[in-house]
Structure formats: C-alpha cells, structure tokens
Amino acid sequence: MNKPTVDIIVPVWNSPFETRACLAAILKHSPEARLIIVDNGSSRETELMLEEFSEPLGELGLFIKTERNLGLIPAINMGLTRSDSDFAVIVRPHVMVNDGWLKVLLDTAEATGASIVSPMFKGTGTMLPPLAPGCAVMESCTVSFATLLMRREMRALAGAFNENLDGGEWCLKEYVRRAASKGYLTCITNRSRLMCDPEPVFGSAVRRLEMRHNSRSAYLAAWGVSRHYVVYFGKEADASKLSDSIKVILDGARRGHRFTLLLHRRQNSYFRRMGWNGLHTGIELYGISIWFPQRDLRRRVALLQAKSPDLLAVCGSDGIHFPFIETAIPLGEIITSIPGNSTTLNTPCTEVPP
C-alpha cells in the first residue's frame, strides 16, 4: 500500500520568532511532508525570514506571498488550492508539533474513515470537547483551525471554507456540516496533544463581535438551530433492540445536535459495552440511580433544563411515557426532522492503549 502524500499549510501574518519555531518543529517532526507557507501580507522582517526558511526546501516547499493581509480564511483557501496531496494539514504558527504528531492524524483518518481530524491541545490556546473516559478517538462537530487534517477527495466535493464567515467557530461549524451532508466524518483524537499558545487577536472588539454575530446568523439561516435533546427509553426497554434508535441519534449528533441519554442500569451497561458512549462528543450517557430512579431522573432533567432552557424531551421507545414531562416528543419526530443518509455504527470509541 502506497504511503499517503501530505501537504502542511501554514498561514502566516507576522510574529516571525513564533513562526520560525513552528516551522522548524514541522520540518523536524514531519520531514516527509511538503510545506506550503502562505505569507499573508506580513512585514518585511517576517517576509525575509520566510524566504530564507523556504529557499533550501526545494520541491518539499512552496512559498506563496500576498500583497496585503487577506484574512485567515482566504489565506488558508489559497494554500489549499495549491495542495494536490492525499491530505492537507493546516497548522497555525502558535502551535508546536511534536514527535509522531502527523502519523497519529493519518492513522486516525485511516482507522475511522474520517476526512477531517483535529488533535487535542495543551496550553490555553484551543479547547476541544473532552472525550469519553477510555476513548482516544471520537467523532465530533468541533475541531480547530490550530491543527486540522483534511482529505483531498472530501475537499473536492465539499469545496473551500466560506470566506464570508469568521475565522473560527462558525466557519468550522459550517464546513463540518457541509462535509457531513456529503457523507464525510469528522473526528478528534487525544493520541496526539500539541502545545497551543493563545491565538493573537487583531482588530477592534466591536468588529469581531459583529463578524461573529453575522457568521452565526448566516450559519443558522443555512443549517438551522442546533438542538439539545434528552432521551428516555423507559425502564423496560431492551437495550439490545435500540440500535436503530442509536443510529438516528448518531446522525443527529453529526448534524450538530446534542443528546443526553438517560439510561437505567442494564441499558447503561449494554450501551457502554457496545462502545456507544464513545460514538460522538455530542452524545452523553447518564446512568440513572438504581435506588431512587424517579427522583434522580427529575433532578437530572432539571439540571439540563437550567443549562439548556430550550431542552427537548424525547421518548426513545414506542409506547413509553417520559415521567413528569407531558410535552415529550416521540423519537419518530427526530427521524422526520433529521433525515438519515448513510449513518452507521462502525466507528465506535477507540480505547486508549495500556
């Protein structure tokens, strides 16, 4: 089997010392990859450093220069258009890669079939959702531009990042949803943890807030509101017969919705044995107390409603009643509102090796 080819894209705007350290670490720990440096209208000092750094790379380097700062997303898109390798990996200059980092991302993509992969990070620069205990890889709708692997065939169908959105949360949310609509999966892994310093902040706070607001509005107009569902299957539900329900829930999580599953003891044990606790960071399992189940159920729902006032209660099994919630909807309504396509359960949590 041929080894996949990789392009590493580093969008740069000033910060020459931090950028040089980042580039040096990339060359040291991933010498087999081609380095695409996008100088996004940097100062002359940074430009000279990048030219000096790029010159000895030969065919393993590509230096792109813009006359002015076009913004982060246009710079990333510019680098992606020049990438013809099997995978492109975006690395921001405030990230320090380490030994084995690239192999972890490639292995994760190979093992899960994912087309978008982010590692976890150390430091205060970027926070991703926690993985379930014992899991090293999980699907997620939340990834980071700090370091992001992308498969070429996915990029060909999903297209470029939307340059009218912000350079962070909403732009990534939109792209992950777009990729999911084409059947491509997104994962995060803690097998690689990269040091990530805080991202430099530029421009006025008012302008950033306006961009974030406009980006959120554009995302909601295109993809709708992300819901938080609390699902109760009933005490008598046979967990072994709930795989179709889990497929629906997983499909919903891939489309940006959150699910909290309230499970009685045997259900909770079966779900975890099947690896369903590690399917997606948008799916959380909660085991109901065996001693005071009704009291615990009421308390848990109250806590969820306090955090998510628009919480929607769902009856996960036919014919069951969600205690003390008359407005609970059947799972069938979620099936209608979140049409399935190619949802499978073949990407469960990958456990951390001993």
Residue 124 pLDDT > 90, yes or no?
no
Contact 79, 91 (CB under 8 A): no
Pick 187 or 206 by higher pLDDT. 187
Please tell me the predicted confidence (pLDDT) of residue 127: 81
Q: Looking at domain 6-216, does it have CATH number 3.90.105.10?
A: no
Residue 164 has a pLDDT of 93
Measured CA to CA, the distance from residue 329 to residue 322 in angstroms comes to 9
**pLDDT, tens digit, 9 for 90 and up, residues 83-107:** 999 999 999 999 999 999 999 999 9
pLDDT at 326 over 80: yes
Tell me the backbone φ, ψ of residue 192, rounded to 5 degrees. Answer: -125, 130
Rounded Cα–Cα distance for residues 181 and 322 (Å): 32
d(CA 167, CA 316): 38
Mean pLDDT, the chain, as a whole number? Answer: 91
pLDDT score for 166? 87
pLDDT at 335 (0 to 100)? 62
**What band does 128 get if pLDDT is binned at 50, 70 and 90?**
very high
Q: At what angle do helices 44-54 and 16-29 cross, to 10 degrees?
A: 20
* Tokens 């980042």, residue located: 22
User: Does residue 351 register a pLDDT over 60?
Assistant: no
Q: How far is CA 303 from the centre of its chain?
A: 26
Pairing of strands 147-151, 87-91: antiparallel
pLDDT of residue 126: 72
Q: What is the pLDDT of residue 348?
A: 47
Tell me phi and psi for residue 350, to 5 degrees. Answer: -95, 120
pLDDT tens-digit readout, 28-55: 999 999 999 999 999 999 999 999 999 9
Element (H, E) at 34: strand 34-40
Whether residue 331 contacts residue 245, with contact meaning beta carbons closer than 8 Å, is answered with: yes
Band of the pLDDT at 201, cuts 50, 70, 90? confident
Find the DSSP H helices in the chain.
16-29, 44-54, 72-81, 101-112, 152-158, 169-181, 205-223, 243-254, 265-273, 293-307, 331-337
* Start-end of H helices in 182-258: 205-223, 243-254
- Give the confidence band of 7 by pLDDT, cuts at 50, 70, 90: very high
Coil, strand, or helix at residue 234?
Answer: coil
CA neighbor of 250 nearest in space, from 128, 180, 344, 142: 344
5 and 86 Cβ atoms separated by less than 8 Å? yes
263 beta partners = 287
- Predicted confidence at residue 342, as pLDDT, reads 42
Q: In which band, very low, low, confident or very high, does the pLDDT at 352 lie, cut at 50, 70 and 90?
A: very low
Q: Quick one: average pLDDT of 150-156? A: 97
- Bigger pLDDT: 200 vs 85: 85
Nearest C-alpha neighbor of 53 from the set 76, 28, 77:
28
pLDDT at residue 337 in the model = 62
Q: Each residue of 17-31: pLDDT tens digit?
A: 999 999 999 999 999
The rounded distance, in Å, linking the Cα atoms of 64 and 85 is 17
Separation between Cα atoms, residue 38 and residue 82, nearest integer Å: 10
Q: What is the reported pLDDT for 354?
A: 38
Record the tokens describing residue 93, joined without a space: 């200059």
Residue 103: what pLDDT? 97
> Is the pTM here over 0.75, yes or no?
yes
Average pLDDT over residues 254-268: 96
For the chain, give the longest Cα–Cα distance: 70
Which structure tokens are listed for 341? 């396509």
User: What angle do helix axes 169-181 and 205-223 make, rounded to 10 degrees?
Assistant: 20
Per-residue tokens: 78? 């510019």
- Cα–Cα distance for residue pair 132/332, rounded to 1 Å: 27
